Structures are given as structure tokens and as C-alpha cells.
Amino acid sequence: MIIQALDLGKVYQKGKNSIEVIKEFNHVFESGKMYLLKGASGKGKTTLLSILGLLDKPTSGKLLLNGKEIDFTKPGVLCDIRKAEYSFVFQDYALFENLSVYENLRLVYEDTDEKLDEKRIDDLLQKMNLLHRKYHRTAELSGGEKQRVAFARALLKDAEVFIFDEPISNVDEGNAQIIFDIMKVLKTTRMVMVTCHTSVFDNICDEIVCL
């Protein structure tokens, strides 16, 4: 997969107030690499990931996927591409708080042709030190545990592009190392985009894109 951002811009308009968050952003992203989108809080990392992930539309510029321009006026098409190609960890995790960890993970298999793989779920939970939490309500978990559930959920999907928005902001050092190791393997065959406002990802990413 190749994703090309051409002069991307994003202006948020609220009444008379407008804020230009992304300005003439240009970059080429390829499979087989891990990209760090780095910048202070409020610099537009989440906004940019939302556009690159086809969750939000730019106010100027173009986005090309494998050379084909994305038509942001067709939500159905955007949704199909996202379903087929993308997997996300959102900054606020976006888990179903009233469902158990297991139920959250199971949902990945709904709406796909893939068969529920219990062993894969258990192996992943084991790896992420979460197996003892499998049947607990997500609302009862700590922030770091929820973030690891969100990461495990993202990995269950066989996507081409993985978008991780601040994926270790609440995770302890030991578990962060586990996440780094998984990401290093993942990026050898897939495209990985990660945001972070600190330098912890600097050494494991192939390219640093400063916002």
C-alpha cells in the first residue's frame, strides 16, 4: 500500500472562529515502514491520522491510495476501504465499556468472513498480560489495561494499515516494551503510523514526521 498526502490542509470552522490545524502537508507512506507523527499536544496529530485513516475529510489537498484519489464525498466507499485496509487504536480507546474484554475483541469478527479464533484471542491476551481480565467488564479496567485491550483488538484485524494514536500514553514500561516488540514485527509487512508527543518511539520508527 502507498498512501500519498498532497498539500493536505484542515481548517476547523466554528462560527466566526476558524483554526488551521494542518497546512500543506505532503508525505508518502509505504507498507513495510513505521512512521512516527510527532508534535506537541494540539499540533494536529489526531486530525492528520483521521484524514489519513479516512475518518475525516481534508478542507484542501488530496489523498491518494495506491495512486487513486480518494473521494471524500462518498462515505460508503470510505467505509468499505476502512473496513478492508485499516485497523485503529484511538486515543480514547473507543472500547465498549459495558462489554467484557472478550466481547470487545469478539466484535472484530462480526461483519467479516473471518472465523472467530479463540486461540488467537487467548494468545494475544496472554502476550499483553490481560488473560486474567478476559471476562471482566471493560469499565472496571485501569487506563493502561484498557489501552492494551484496544491494542489487542487492533492486532486481531488482518489490516494493511495500522494507525495507533498515542498507543502507550497510559501503559507502564514493561508493557510498553511488549507493544514496541509487536510493532517492530508488524511493520516488516504492514504500514504502521503512530503518534506520540515524547521521544519514546524515535528509535524504532523508520521515519519521523514532525508536525
Ligand X SMILES: Nc1ncnc2c1ncn2[C@@H]1O[C@H](COP(=O)(O)OP(=O)(O)O)[C@@H](O)[C@H]1O
- Spell out the residues 6+ positions from residue 43 whose beta carbon is closer than 8 angstroms to its own: 211
* Phi, then psi, of 74 in degrees rounded to 5: -120, 85
Q: Strand, coil or helix: what is 172?
A: coil
* Site residues (CB under 6 A) for ligand X, limited to 20-79: 21, 39, 41-47
Partner from ligand X, Mg ion, none binding residue 66, C-beta < 5-8 Å depending on class: none
Q: Which CB sits closer to ligand X, 134 or 197?
A: 197
Residue ranges of the alpha helices (H) in the chain? Answer: 45-52, 75-85, 101-106, 118-127, 143-156, 173-189
Using CA atoms, how far apart are residues 169 and 179, in angstroms rounded to an integer? 12
- Within 106-145, which residues bind ligand X (CB under 6 A)? none
Q: How far is the CB of 194 from ligand X (least distance, A)?
A: 12
Q: Least distance (Å) from Mg ion to the CB of residue 105?
A: 24
Q: How far is CA 193 from the centre of its chain?
A: 7
Q: Per the structure block, which three cell numbers stand in for 148?
A: 492494551
| CB of residue 142 to Mg ion, shortest distance in Å | 20
Does residue 167 interact with ligand X by CB under 6 A?
no
Residue closer to Mg ion by CB (options 46, 87) is 46
Residue 45 or 190 with smaller CB distance to Mg ion: 45
Q: Which positions lie near ligand X, rule CB under 6 A?
A: 12, 14, 19, 21, 39, 41-47
